[in-house]
Chain A
Amino acid sequence: MKTAAPLLVMSDVIKIYRVSESLFGKSDRSVRALDHLSITINAGEIYGLVGESGSGKTTASRLIVGLEEADSGHIRFEGQDVVGLRGKRRKAFTKNVQIIFQDPYQSLNAHLSIFETVCEPLVIHGEGDRQSRLKKVCEALSTAGLSPPEAYLGRYPHQLSGGQRQRVAIARAMVLEPRFLIADEPTSMLDTSISFQIFQLLNQLRVSFGVTMLFITHSLAAARNLCDRVGVIYRGRLVEEGTASQTIMEPHHPYTKALLDAHPHFGSSKHRRYNTLKMTERTVPSADHCPFYPRCRSAMKNVCDSSVPVFKKIGDDHHVACFLF
């Protein structure tokens, strides 16, 4: 395994949301969106964060770009702490770290033309003059697959399809040539064939620009095909992490196995059933037992329900948080 320098390090990050149930008189509840989450992403790689809704994967991305602040723990980009950045340092940070959102229908301002949307980052950071900005915008649009770019400059988002809008969002994110790109479920609102093209585009970006990526998804297949390393997140905790092929072809954690079982199989060569899931109701997670305990068929009483498992190394660059190992 090549060991490149770590670009982004999240260590022991905790994020809690307070939910107050006023209507029926219940007391204030808090939800741990992220519970001691630690992720290291190396320069030049695509890291896939796989999890279902409510797992905390989107929260993690929001904390990294600064849309929200972590309650505890550290997030370091190129060695520098990113929590609480202000002023010039924050502006320099925004040049290097960009995000693509899930909903292409809402992530573009309907009142701005495509040119204005993609040019905005350049304007905010005062890059170049009018001519060079136009050139950069056209370049970004072609890289994102919108060709010829001149045809798109004067158009508005409502005139474009979902896939095209997402490409514009990608162009906007890439126009400043950031070093780190977060793609938060970029294809979950798009049809299958368009999704494939977006994956191709993201892969191409890594090849052409060497940009490091955090790819957030609920689809293991997408992670397997696009990412170098994969982390499986459940209820705010990382339960398994390793290279894409290892984690998916030789899963260890029962939750990873459950995700693999649930994936559509028709057409795949191998068809293994792990059967690690119990059919139960969703329960409120507790901090003093393994988050997957209520649903785990292989759970061991008095072991799995008494404390939280630690992230253990089980192979070359493969970690699991499970008492079974």
Chain B
Amino acid sequence: MHTAVQRVSFRLERERSLGLVGESGCGKTTIGMALMGLLPPSAQVLSGSVLFEGEDLISASDARMREIRWSEISMIFQAAMNALNPVHRVQDQIAEAIITHEPSLSSHAVAHRTRALFELVKIPQSRLKDYPHQFSGGMRQRVIIAMALACNPSLIIADEPTTALDVIVQDQILKSIATFQKETKIGMIFISHDIAVVADVCTDIGVMYGGSLVELGRTEDVFHCPAHPYTRLLVGSLLTLSDEPADLSRVSCEIDPTATGESFVGCPFNELCADAFPACKKGEAGWIELSKSHWVRCLLARKGGGE
């Protein structure tokens, strides 16, 4: 038995977006899947609850989850642009998503909504009847986003939506995401390993390591005043376009992601932390409030290390 995620708690308000950041294997995708009720049969939620608009999703029945999926919570999966069916036209695939959840809509209404969606993600209307292979990678990703928005969900979970894309295309997609989020006022959970991308797009950031959430707060707080040593490492690893070149000779610690929190007693980052002390191994650091919008789970913070 392997514990993938533990002690994760956060709250997302309408119109806000949360970026879940962490290395591969830290559990962020598992959380996304758990929220959608799409965990594999071998996975089990041992404790905790997920309250979506007051309703607990963990104890919801399969039928209820199917109702909620896509119409209230939708997801953009990793490498989703390869998930489009190559033998169906793009507009048909979007229409199918709409019809499955709102069978009572007339075909006229469906077509109208499809056109509106394309406009929202900025794909020319002339491309509606094309097949997926006629689109470039970036355009296909926009189609996927349109599909995710098809049923007007209140929450959208995007799992690494821009990983395989070029810089310019990535920038355009991120801008579209920011735009539609403002227009449609939906909540978003943006999962990525790249904290720079997340900082550009999301209002809040949650940092995960070894299956636990270690820091949570508004982007300005977490990104500019990182309190947890791991967050500091992530922010410090960023190469920026500032006037001064980065100091490549400074020491940074070696992260071995294969050693994900085997011991869930104490802090998962303990073995690699330069500032760790004995209590870190044994004690479970609870959430420490650094400010109304910034929490960290680290014993150092309590010792006055928080900013």
Contacts and interface: CB of A to CB of B under 8 A. Distances in A.
- Does chain A bind chain B? yes
Interface of A: 52-53, 145, 160-164, 191-197, 199-200, 203-204, 218-222, 224-226, 244-245, 248-249, 258-270, 277, 279, 281-282
B242 A269 contact: yes
B167 A263 contact: yes
A221 B248 CA distance: 13
B196 interface: yes
Given A200-B252, A267-B224, A225 B136 contact: no
17 contacts: A53-B166, A162-B24, A191-B257, A193-B255, A195-B237, A196-B237, A196-B252, A221-B240, A225-B248, A245-B245, A262-B171, A263-B171, A267-B196, A267-B235, A268-B241, A268-B242, A270-B243
A294 to B, nearest CB: 14
B254 A277 contact: no
A174 to B, nearest CB: 18
A59 B237 CA distance: 29
B239 A222 contact: yes
Please report whether the interface of chain A is mostly helix, strand, loop or mixed according to DSSP: helix
B239 A197 contact: no
A196 B238 CA distance: 7
Contact of B239 (A162, A191, A199): A199
A51 to B, nearest CB: 9
Contacts of A260: 241
Contacts of A244: 245
A268 B240 contact: yes
B180 to A, nearest CB: 16
Interface of B: 23-24, 122, 136, 166-168, 170-172, 193-197, 199-200, 219, 223-224, 233-243, 245-246, 248-249, 252, 254-258
B237 A193 contact: yes
Contact of A203 (B233, B235, B249, B254): B249
Most chain A CB atoms below 10 A, which of B194, B239, B254:
B239
Given A196-B237, A267-B196, 7 more contacts: A162-B257, A163-B255, A191-B24, A196-B236, A197-B254, A225-B239, A262-B172
Contact of A262 (B167, B219, B233, B258): B167
Nearest to B136: A282
Contacts of B172: 262, 279
Contact of A225 (B223, B236, B245): B245
Contacts of A279: 122, 172
A185 to B, nearest CB: 12
B22 to A, nearest CB: 9
A324 B193 CA distance: 39
